[in-house]
Structure 1
Amino acid sequence: MKSLGICRYSIAVSVLALAILSCSDQVVSTTKAVETEPTIKTSTAKIVGIEPATIESEYRNQWTPELEAEFQNRAQEVIKYYAGQNYGNNSGENEKRSYPRAMFHFLAGNREKALKFLQSEDAQAGDNKHTEGIDYYYCFTLKGQMRKYFLWGQFLDPAYKQRMFDGAKVWTEKDPKGRPHPIYGKGKGGDGWGPDVRGGWVDGRNTDNLRAMREVAVYLMAEETGNEDTKLLYKQKIQRYVWALYNIGMGEWDSENYLGHTFAAYLNLYDFAKDPEVKQLGKAALDWMSAAAAVKYYRGGMGGPTKRDYGRANVVYGSTAARLFWLYFGDTAIANPKPEPDSIHVITSNYRPPQAIVALARKQFDKPIELFSSKPVYENWKPGGEDKPGYWETTFFGNSYQLGSLAGAFSDGDVGTFKLMADNSERGVDYFVANTGGEWVQPGKKRGDQIGQYRNLVIWLRPSLDQPFFFQLPKTAKAEIEEGIWFFELEKTWLAVRPINLSSYTEVAISRKKFAREYEQEQTFKATTKGNGYAGFALEVGEKESHSSYGDFKQAVKTKSQLNLSEVSKGIVDLTGAKGNSIKLTHNSKHDLPIIVRNGVKHNWSQHFELYKSSQGQAPISLGWKTGDLSVEAGGLVFQISGPISNK
């Protein structure tokens, strides 16, 4: 493995020029703040109630005192939220909730009760006799075990901490993944995730978040207990993962539900790894994930297309990722109603995202601007998984909204393909979301769905086949139909939806009570398809900066915009917007990657492999395909970092 050096940059206030002060061949760089801004140098211990792991300055992104004060205020809100809650239990992987709750109780002053629970006998201690009764099996449990051992270890009974050490030494003497369980061997198979079903010494599932929890924990305990072979093996695994982030992306990309879990696991690596190279890998992973979250975060919402979308994220704070990264990014209109349990890792760590990434999350860059972003296939570690992207995303940042859509050659059941977030002064953002099939707006890239986007224009087309369309809008939206166009007025953002072989929309109720409660301030419209050809819609978005008023926007759409449906029977639709821009979509009968012409130029998907690239050249974030060089420029700050050269 090539050594990861450090390269520091300073930013000239006048021209934002980067001056390289020192670097090695392969760098992981940090960025200093603008010289006129003071940086925070004090520990967080006085505020959070425990001394975070000491992190040397070369591994830290410096913050201003103002940013740190905001962070600590939000941290106190989280501690207060959890201070009176019951812990739950330590059965199965329930420690993913119960351990953080106990740790929050500790921070709130209830130390004795918290420590008693953290050291209580595991509910499946019999399954874990080979590791001194300590649960090193479940990945979600491992995440909490690491912070318990390394940070809370100073407060644990010495005999209990020794049990954790002794169990970990046996656990990591060989690679625990795939090693037959002493009782259950390779497991009986069937439903369930425990060792009796799956076997092994550790949960072997390979989702990004579970793999991160497992690989970080095995590495840390192998390093702690002196099991060098296992330590080196897992150092290699971690390097491959961080290489992938910087070169092809994350398999569980931008997951509204799981991004925070992966992030929390790497906080453990950053905080507790002793090897400087591995600590740098931890920081590089956190910087990358913070940047990815910042692109999608908007005033407490999480927008744009997502992988592993559970359908709960289409409101402010609906996403677990938004509820976690809110601690860093803030910029919200309302309080966080349900902070994430993983916040314990954020609050008790000295990691802070680079200031430029915070500014990116707060959308402090010149707008409007369009951003392209490729995403890898999910199991990208398998043969062929690194060869090309699996998805292509387009995001347009207006002055009052953020609009994102997804294209890809195949269907995918857990992908959210289209979201718009628009400013709302009372709750942060409003959502406009669409999809096909199901009973309301639910995730899934359905076979036949093809979307094309050019800036504020979108065409969605699919074979009719009796597959209804669903649309989610806030109840505060003003809805009108004029000249066959569906107009929706949001607070600062205006939508013009032109139906293509769709019936008039009708409001429908969400049948599942839990979802209905989460979306009680939203309304869902259903429009059925007509005929045996193609159906869908064309969208144009406006705002004050493009049209002086909602009335002017409607008039411009009705008199200047044109939707050409002369070849819709062939799957060809052409939309020209009120400002003269155009998008043409030809439905691809061979697979689901549409043929797109943007403003008269055919879009070549094979020439857009970059993980982040603006269609206009200058971008607030950029990262090439297999270049490994991430750059973020926002808020008058520049942050640049390079990931590992090798994936082995």
Structure 2
Amino acid sequence: MKGLSKVSSWIAIASLAGGVLACRTNTTPNVSPSTVGPKVSELTLNATPAPGTTKLVAAENSGLPIQPIPVDRRLRNPWPSDWEQEFQQRAQQVIAFYQGKKYGNNKGENEKRSYPYAMFDFLAGNRDAAIAFLQSEDKQAKDNQHTAGIDYYYSFTLKGQMRKYFLFGQFLDPAYKQRMFEGAKNWTKQDPNRRPHPIYGKGDDSKQGWGPEVRGSWVDNRNTDNLRAMREISVYLMAEETENEAVRRLYKQKLHRYVSALYHIGMGEWDSENYHGHTLAAYLNLYDFAKDPEVKQLAKAALDWLSATGAVKYYHGGFGGPSKRDYGKGNVVFGSSAARLLWLYFGDATLPNPEPERDSIHVITSAYRPPEAVVNLARKQFAKPTELLITHPTYENWKPGRSDEPAYWETTFFGQTYQLGSVVSSFKDGDVGPFKLMAQNSQRGVDYFVANTDGDRAQPGKNRGDQIGQYRNLMIWLRPASETPFFFQVPKSAKAEVEDGVWFFQFENTWLAVSPINLQPYEEVAIANKKTADLYRQERTLKSVPGDSAYTGFTLEVGEPATHGRYQQFKQAVKNKSQLNLSRLPQGMVQLRGGTGETLELRHNPQNELPTVVRNGAVYDWEQHFDLYKPTEGNGPISLGWKQGRLRVVAGNSTFETQVEAADTLEVAP
């Protein structure tokens, strides 16, 4: 960027499972050259303080920062002082929200709720009750005799156990903490994953549930990204703590493979509105508590990646665009778990956070902060309009052949007042939200426009036959006609009009023109589920049934003041200049010319569900677009090549770069 002064530092890490991790950080001038360091292998990082030296500041000392375990400054992303003050203010809001709430119990994996509640209450000043609960006997103590009665099984429990032991351990009864140590020592004497349980052996999969009686094993062996991160990080930390070196080295390799995969092929549980923050919180444990400098650097690399990819989808407290493991709760501001957690880092919201995430306990007691450029990316401080081409891997990307090519191709476009994203894949996928638009709203941050097929509302699910093409502010969605209706979510505050067969929706500063393709006039319908209906009480659900033709769908054109001046001018441009060619609809082809001259064509592919898309006259070749993040013009705001490992974020007045070189293989059993 013109006039940008930068400081560059390289930190190279010795061989990890045959690969090399290297990080390069370019930052703004508020970092002095003295922060540039030698190779990590030559560094002596700040060790975990002795018990009693870490300060946790309670709410009665309001205004003072919460002091986490210190991390070497060369592994920290420096922030301006006003950002840190705002972060601490948000942290105090979270503590106040959870103060005095009933903790719950420690049965099964209920610690995913009860441990954070107790820790928040500790920070709020109710220390005796909190510590008493944190060291209370586990409900499954008899099942856990091989680990001194401590629950080291459930992944969600493990995430809390790590912060309890390493950060709150100074306040635990020494005898209880010693039990945790002894239990962990036995737990990590061998790899606990898939080691037959001393009571339940290999388990009984004819039963229901996720416990050791069903799954067997000394540790929860589910392999979703978030649960796997909790397991692998916890085993590593406790193997390191108890000096079980063989297991520590094994899990160091596992962690290197996973972080390397993030940078080279992406994340199987990509951009999940529900689970993104769970994985991030687990890596905060590794960043805060690992002793090995190389592993701490791995943790930072993972956190930089997770915060950057989350920043792409975060918008004024909303979390939008396509996402994997989309539960349909995030189509409103602070509806998603990811947004409620990332808000602590990114702020930039009009509404207060109504229910901060429980995982916030890891964020506010950690030394980690995202790079400045990443925060600026989340706050959309970069040149617009701009378009990103994005890919994502298949869900279980570690299996043989799964790292050969992407499984999903996403297009996301940033206008001055909105963010529009869609995704395609060669298969149906019931938990993928394939399309969302977020538009600025001065009252609540953003408004959503969402579309989908089937169900009783605009819920997630890429259904068979759904194929989407997008070019910047233009989109075409086509599918074979059937009894399957389309559902649309629009805010009640939006003005809706139908003129010349086009559905116009006037948001505050963003305008939509939806041209139905073989769809009947829409009708407003109620959401059957009462809890969901309450979440979407300020939204309208519109239903449109297909007519009699081979294909059905819609086109979308988006306008705003920067492109059309006023809403009425946008409508006139759509009616007078936009052209929708349906002459070859029976063959599954739709052509759209937008009011500003750009063109988009989609040819439905009945073979593998990847359509032929022609963008402004150029055929989009899926095989030539593997980059995880690629701007279609310029060098910002984020780029990351396929199997290149170099993440670059350019936003605001900051540039951040990190490179992670590949492990020997990205395909290993977890």
User: What's the TM-score, normalizing by structure 2?
Assistant: 0.93
Are residues 1:348 and 2:365 paired? Answer: yes
Task: Say if 1:529 and 1:38 are closer, same or farther in 2 by CA, change over 3 A.
Answer: farther
| Rounded Cα–Cα distance in structure 1 between residues aligned with 2:94 and 2:661 | 35
- CA drift of 1:645 comes to 2.9
Residue in structure 2 matched with residue 70 of structure 1 by the alignment: 86
Residue in structure 2 matched with residue 620 of structure 1 by the alignment: 637
| Rounded Cα–Cα distance in structure 2 between residues aligned with 1:71 and 1:17 | 26
- CA drift of 1:387 comes to 0.2
Kindly provide the CA deviation profile for residues 435-479 of structure 1, in whole angstroms up to 9, marking residues without a partner as x. 001111111100000000000000000001111000000000100
Are residues 1:121 and 2:172 paired? Answer: no
Task: Say if 1:352 and 1:187 are closer, same or farther in 2 by CA, change over 3 A.
Answer: same
Which of 105, 118, 122 is the equivalent residue of 2:121?
Answer: 105
Q: 1:58-457 to 2 correspondence within 5 Å?
A: 58-189=74-205, 190-457=207-474
Amino acid at match of 1:16: L
Kindly provide the CA deviation profile for residues 347-395 of structure 1, in whole angstroms up to 9, marking residues without a partner as x. 0001000000000000000000000000000000001110000000000
Amino acid at match of 1:204: N
**Count of aligned pairs:** 634
Structure 1: give runs of 5+ residues left out of the alignment. Answer: 1-12
Question: Is residue 439–residue 448 contact of structure 2 (8 Å, CA) maintained in 1?
Answer: yes
| Rounded Cα–Cα distance in structure 2 between residues aligned with 1:556 and 1:443 | 32
- CA drift of 1:16 comes to 2.5
Question: Is residue 48–residue 76 contact of structure 1 (8 Å, CA) maintained in 2?
Answer: no
| Rounded Cα–Cα distance in structure 2 between residues aligned with 1:501 and 1:630 | 43
- CA drift of 1:636 comes to 1.1
| Rounded Cα–Cα distance in structure 2 between residues aligned with 1:347 and 1:398 | 33
Amino acid at match of 2:88: Q
| Rounded Cα–Cα distance in structure 2 between residues aligned with 1:553 and 1:504 | 22
| Rounded Cα–Cα distance in structure 1 between residues aligned with 2:234 and 2:479 | 45
| Rounded Cα–Cα distance in structure 1 between residues aligned with 2:649 and 2:9 | 19
| Rounded Cα–Cα distance in structure 2 between residues aligned with 1:102 and 1:487 | 50
Question: Is residue 156–residue 227 contact of structure 2 (8 Å, CA) maintained in 1?
Answer: yes
| Rounded Cα–Cα distance in structure 1 between residues aligned with 2:392 and 2:27 | 30
| Rounded Cα–Cα distance in structure 2 between residues aligned with 1:402 and 1:491 | 14
Amino acid at match of 1:55: V
Task: Say if 1:471 and 1:463 are closer, same or farther in 2 by CA, change over 3 A.
Answer: same
- CA drift of 1:33 comes to 2.9
Amino acid at match of 2:274: N
SS of residue matched to 1:334 = coil
| Rounded Cα–Cα distance in structure 2 between residues aligned with 1:45 and 1:412 | 44
| Rounded Cα–Cα distance in structure 2 between residues aligned with 1:162 and 1:139 | 21
| Rounded Cα–Cα distance in structure 2 between residues aligned with 1:401 and 1:88 | 41
Question: Is residue 48–residue 348 contact of structure 1 (8 Å, CA) maintained in 2?
Answer: no
| Rounded Cα–Cα distance in structure 1 between residues aligned with 2:4 and 2:407 | 35
SS of residue matched to 1:458 = strand
Task: Say if 1:79 and 1:387 are closer, same or farther in 2 by CA, change over 3 A.
Answer: same
SS of residue matched to 1:638 = strand
Are residues 1:494 and 2:511 paired? Answer: yes
| Rounded Cα–Cα distance in structure 2 between residues aligned with 1:77 and 1:20 | 36
- CA drift of 1:30 comes to 3.3
Residue in structure 1 matched with residue 43 of structure 2 by the alignment: none
Residue in structure 1 matched with residue 15 of structure 2 by the alignment: none
Task: Say if 1:21 and 1:137 are closer, same or farther in 2 by CA, change over 3 A.
Answer: closer
Kindly provide the CA deviation profile for residues 100-129 of structure 1, in whole angstroms up to 9, marking residues without a partner as x. 000000000000000000000001111101
Kindly provide the CA deviation profile for residues 569-608 of structure 1, in whole angstroms up to 9, marking residues without a partner as x. 0000000000000100000011110100000010001111
Which of 587, 590, 609 is the equivalent residue of 1:592?
Answer: 609
Kindly provide the CA deviation profile for residues 536-558 of structure 1, in whole angstroms up to 9, marking residues without a partner as x. 00000000000010000000100
Task: Say if 1:611 and 1:65 are closer, same or farther in 2 by CA, change over 3 A.
Answer: same
SS of residue matched to 2:219 = coil
| Rounded Cα–Cα distance in structure 1 between residues aligned with 2:591 and 2:231 | 49
Task: Say if 1:411 and 1:44 are closer, same or farther in 2 by CA, change over 3 A.
Answer: farther
Residue in structure 1 matched with residue 648 of structure 2 by the alignment: 631
Task: Say if 1:292 and 1:486 are closer, same or farther in 2 by CA, change over 3 A.
Answer: same
Amino acid at match of 1:275: D
Amino acid at match of 2:196: P
- CA drift of 1:616 comes to 1.6
Task: Say if 1:505 and 1:528 are closer, same or farther in 2 by CA, change over 3 A.
Answer: same
Kindly provide the CA deviation profile for residues 310-356 of structure 1, in whole angstroms up to 9, marking residues without a partner as x. 00000000000000000000000010000000000000001000000
Question: Is residue 301–residue 318 contact of structure 1 (8 Å, CA) maintained in 2?
Answer: yes
| Rounded Cα–Cα distance in structure 2 between residues aligned with 1:152 and 1:44 | 10
SS of residue matched to 1:176 = coil
Amino acid at match of 1:111: R
Amino acid at match of 1:265: A
Residue in structure 1 matched with residue 489 of structure 2 by the alignment: 472
Question: Is residue 299–residue 332 contact of structure 1 (8 Å, CA) maintained in 2?
Answer: yes
- CA drift of 1:520 comes to 0.4
Question: Is residue 239–residue 644 contact of structure 1 (8 Å, CA) maintained in 2?
Answer: no
Are residues 1:559 and 2:554 paired? Answer: no
Task: Say if 1:127 and 1:22 are closer, same or farther in 2 by CA, change over 3 A.
Answer: closer
SS of residue matched to 1:421 = strand
Kindly provide the CA deviation profile for residues 63-84 of structure 1, in whole angstroms up to 9, marking residues without a partner as x. 1101001100100000000002
| Rounded Cα–Cα distance in structure 2 between residues aligned with 1:589 and 1:536 | 15
Are residues 1:548 and 2:565 paired? Answer: yes
SS of residue matched to 1:575 = strand
Residue in structure 2 matched with residue 55 of structure 1 by the alignment: 71
Are residues 1:15 and 2:10 paired? Answer: no
Identity of aligned residues (%): 64
- CA drift of 1:49 comes to 7.5
Amino acid at match of 2:71: I
| Rounded Cα–Cα distance in structure 1 between residues aligned with 2:21 and 2:254 | 19
Kindly provide the CA deviation profile for residues 493-533 of structure 1, in whole angstroms up to 9, marking residues without a partner as x. 00000000000000000001111010001000000001140
Question: Is residue 371–residue 612 contact of structure 1 (8 Å, CA) maintained in 2?
Answer: yes
Which of 11, 28, 31 is the equivalent residue of 1:33?
Answer: 28
Instruction: Indicate the larger mover: 215-224 or 526-535.
Output: 526-535
| Rounded Cα–Cα distance in structure 1 between residues aligned with 2:29 and 2:621 | 39
| Rounded Cα–Cα distance in structure 2 between residues aligned with 1:458 and 1:48 | 49
- CA drift of 1:18 comes to 4.9
- CA drift of 1:643 comes to 1.4
Task: Say if 1:257 and 1:181 are closer, same or farther in 2 by CA, change over 3 A.
Answer: same
- CA drift of 1:26 comes to 4.9
Residue in structure 2 matched with residue 485 of structure 1 by the alignment: 502
Task: Say if 1:579 and 1:499 are closer, same or farther in 2 by CA, change over 3 A.
Answer: same
Task: Say if 1:194 and 1:21 are closer, same or farther in 2 by CA, change over 3 A.
Answer: closer
- CA drift of 1:48 comes to 6.7
List structure 1 segments (4+ residues) > 2 angstroms apart after TM superposition. 13-26, 29-40, 43-51
Question: Is residue 65–residue 88 contact of structure 2 (8 Å, CA) maintained in 1?
Answer: no
SS of residue matched to 1:98 = helix
Amino acid at match of 2:267: M
User: What's the TM-score, normalizing by structure 1?
Assistant: 0.96
Kindly provide the CA deviation profile for residues 408-458 of structure 1, in whole angstroms up to 9, marking residues without a partner as x. 110001000000000000000000000001111111100000000000000
Question: Is residue 39–residue 65 contact of structure 1 (8 Å, CA) maintained in 2?
Answer: no
